């Protein structure tokens, strides 16, 4: 027997393992309708105007506001304090506030820890400062640029309650350098009197 013939295999070994090609065999397909049906089951939690609402910045300091305009916008926010939600006007005041939240501040006169918004909010509901919330009338008494970047304005306020009148003084400071460069922020909002003579639990 030759060497070649010893390596030859009978054709039956190959033929027995092969199957004739059939045109009826179809490749697996993915149903697009089932995919869309699955995605449709996932709820859409985003409103139709979600993208537009993301573009809108919350109202606060603007680079184009003058010192007088910054005061007026804050007073307007306090006049309509509960629009569009409760104490929204106080939120606007907090955005304009120029104090360091990690240090005690003289924003209201005495040294207070105002790093938490809730403490800031409570002081506005104090018997002296609450006249600003929803006030009915106001009048500018005096305005003065103490320095080039420091502005003071005194304003008379008539509140929503009978015989409720108070005078307050805004001190606005224009920041120089940093991320707030050029913005007018509120250094202090002082009552024209001894507002916390009896102490304050905040």
Quote the percentage of the chain above a pLDDT of 90: 63
Could you please report the per-residue DSSP string of 92-127?
A: HHHHHB-S-TTS-B-TTSS-B--SSHHHHHHHHTST
Grouping H, G, I as helix, E, B as strand and the rest as coil, residue 35 is helix
Q: Was domain 60-191 assigned CATH 3.10.450.50?
A: yes
Length of the chain: 202
pLDDT at 15: 43
Nearest partner of 171 among 127, 112, 106, judged by Cα: 106
Q: Exposure string (b/e) for 150-159, b if CB count within 10 Å is 16 or more? A: ebbbbbebeb
pLDDT at 42: 42
Nearest partner of 87 among 154, 26, 133, 41, judged by Cα: 133
Q: Give per-residue pLDDT as tens, 98-148.
A: 999 999 999 999 999 999 999 999 999 988 999 999 999 999 999 999 999
Tell me phi and psi for residue 177, to 5 degrees. Answer: 85, 165
User: Taking the CB of residue 49, how many other CB atoms lie within 10 A of it?
Assistant: 9
- Residue 77 · residue 83 · CB < 8 Å: no
Task: Supply the pTM of this predicted model.
Answer: 0.69
Q: Give per-residue pLDDT as tens, 75-92.
A: 999 999 999 999 999 999
Q: How confident is the model at residue 62 (pLDDT cuts 50, 70, 90)?
A: very high
pLDDT at position 30 over 60: no
């Amino acid at each position: 027997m030759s060497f070649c013939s010893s390596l030859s295999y009978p054709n039956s070994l190959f033929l027995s393992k092969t199957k004739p090609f059939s045109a009826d065999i179809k490749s697996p397909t993915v149903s697009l309708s089932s995919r869309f049906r699955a995605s449709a089951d996932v709820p859409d939690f985003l409103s139709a105007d979600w993208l537009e609402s993301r573009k809108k910045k919350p109202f606060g300091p603007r680079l184009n506001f003058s010192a007088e305009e910054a005061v007026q916008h804050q007073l307007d926010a306090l006049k309509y304090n509960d629009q569009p939600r409760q104490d929204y006007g106080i939120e606007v005041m907090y955005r304009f506030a120029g104090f360091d939240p990690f240090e005690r501040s003289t924003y209201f006169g005495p040294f207070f820890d105002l790093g938490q918004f809730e403490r800031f909010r409570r002081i506005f509901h104090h018997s002296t400062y609450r006249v600003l919330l929803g006030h009915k009338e106001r009048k500018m008494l005096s305005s003065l640029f103490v320095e080039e970047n420091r502005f003071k304005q005194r304003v008379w306020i008539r509140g929503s309650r009978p015989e409720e009148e108070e005078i307050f003084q805004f001190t606005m400071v224009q920041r120089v350098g940093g991320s707030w460069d050029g913005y007018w922020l509120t250094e202090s909002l002082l009552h024209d009197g001894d507002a916390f003579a009896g102490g304050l639990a905040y």
